Amino acid sequence: MIMYNKTIVNKAHKRPIKTMDFSIEEKPERPVYVFRSTKDRVKFVKTCEMTIRKSMEYKDYIKFLHNHLDMNHCEVLKNISNGNEKHYTIEIHHEPFHLFDIVDTVIYKRQALGEPINPFLIADEVMELHYDEKVGLIPLSKTVHELVHNDKIFIPLQFIYQKYDKFYEEYEMYMQPNLKDSIELKVNMSIRSSKVQSDILDPEFVYANIDGFNFPEVPEEWGKALKILNTEDLLNNNNPTEPTEPVPDRTTL
């Protein structure tokens, strides 16, 4: 119901002002957000990811991990760190739930409960999970981080920081079957493994012996030549192992 009241507030110019009184008996319900396709959903999840990564809360959180929780070194390649004036890129990896999985699960939860599907509200909920230490994290060098995402390296769950199991307990009912299967596989692999698994970090070299084919051999004199630091000794002396006269400085010629 809407009522109009006509009043005069400025007698000099006699400008009438209308006031409106609203009486709302029932608030309209916000429609539930429906994704048109899987592609549409993936695009929305990535938008939420970008919102999170660019937020000041996330940047401050990552800075805190580096400075106060000793997450400034790679857990796979132990010698790579940001300390002692070294400038390696150490990134924070989400494991066993990637950031995409976390955001997607939060969206499924909000859909199930009829909560607003808003990127900023989703980002707030995901960041709250981070600050509550319910998101598994591990510091990795940039290269190792890429290899992990490409499934070239497996990191057992016992290497992961934070209480990621709390996230699983609270959101299990909203997780998709493929995500649950992935976590179960990671748990089983972690039970059987006590170290990081990778064919890249521990390569095996296979040498082939082929009948009727001889691999070329490096002449002995080549090996001697490689030990000579002065190139002119190699060119002007038949016996490079013997000392030669010093080469004059060309700047004085």
Residue 186 placed within a domain? yes
Tokens of 41: 């959903």
Tell me the HSE value of 137 on the side-chain side, using a 13 A CA sphere: 21
Number of domains, the chain? 1
Q: What is the mean pLDDT of the chain?
A: 78
Split at pLDDT 50, 70, 90, the class of 33 is confident
Give the structural domain span for 73: 38-192
**Between 175 and 83, the higher pLDDT residue:** 175
Tens of pLDDT, residue by residue over 149-182, are: 988 888 889 999 999 999 999 999 999 999 999 9
- Which residue do the tokens 């106060």 mark? 68
Residue 46 placed within a domain? yes
What phi, psi does 230 have (nearest 5°)?
A: -95, 115
**Between 156 and 203, the higher pLDDT residue:** 156
Residue 221 placed within a domain? no
Residue 60 placed within a domain? yes
- Rounded average pLDDT over 13-23: 68
Measure the CA–CA gap between 241 and 234, rounded to whole angstroms.
9
Split at pLDDT 50, 70, 90, the class of 230 is very low
